[in-house]
Structure formats: C-alpha cells, structure tokens
Amino acid sequence: MHGGFGGLFPLPCYINLIVRNAQQAAILAQAVNQLVNLKYGRKDELESDRLGFEFMTKAGYSPKGLVELMQILGSANSGGSPPEFLSTHPNPGNGVELLQAIITKTYPQGIPRNLEEGQERFAQAVLTNHSKN
C-alpha cells in the first residue's frame, strides 16, 4: 500500500512520522509546561520565605533560625542538585540572601533582643507534650 508523494513512501512510514512527531511534540509541550510551572513555584517559594519571616517575627521569634534553616538546606543540597532552572525549589542560597536583605531592611539597627530564638519554648513544648503521652 502506497500513498502520497507519488507513492514513494508506504503509508506506515507516514504514520510512523506523524506518531513520532506527535510524541516529540507532547514531550516538548510537557517540558515547556514544567519550566513555566517551576518558575511559578520558585516565585511562590520565595514568597513563602518572606511570609515565614513575617509570621515568625510577629510571633516573637528571631528570624535567625529561618536563615540557619536555609543554610542547612543549602549544605545538604551542595553538589547533588540539578540546575536551579530545573529544580522544583529555589536555591536555598537565594533564600538566605532574600532573608538577610529583609532582615537588614526591617531591622537596620539589628535584630531586636526581645525576639527569642525559641529554643526554651520549643523544649518546654516538647517536654509538656511528651509528659501527656
């Protein structure tokens, strides 16, 4: 069975070309969609960091713990992470920079002493919860 182009190529060849191109188009569309969604996701992650700062400080906690968390995440990711544009989360180093900029802007004289790191409050909550069990 032959068709098109004066019968030069059999019909299965055309079907194969169409299917292959459709698969490639689907793969390309999926990749583009993923890149678009990653950008949106990273923007949301940075907004989450900013809101985390805001909620922590309003609750009376020092934002230093959030910066330290980002540094720990950065250390855990070093060397084995994909390029940031393919990652589902922003580079933790960017979060550290963002948080340090927010801290400097919000507290130009330094983090107020009345903001606690929360270690004692956390330990007390753990002990209280543990004694209930």
- Cβ atoms 70, 96 nearer than 8 A: yes
Residue 10 — φ and ψ, nearest 5°?
-70, 155
Residues across the chain: 133
- Using CA atoms, how far apart are residues 52 and 59, in angstroms rounded to an integer? 11
Tens of pLDDT, residues 65-91? 888 888 887 787 666 655 555 555 566
Residue 49: Cβ within 10 Å count: 22
pLDDT greater than 80 at residue 127: yes
Least confident of 6-15, 31-40, 101-110: 6-15
Q: Taking residues 116-127, report their average pLDDT.
A: 79
**Hey, which residues does 10 pair with through a beta bridge?**
2
pLDDT level of residue 116 (50, 70, 90 thresholds): confident
pLDDT greater than 80 at residue 39: no
pLDDT greater than 90 at residue 33: no
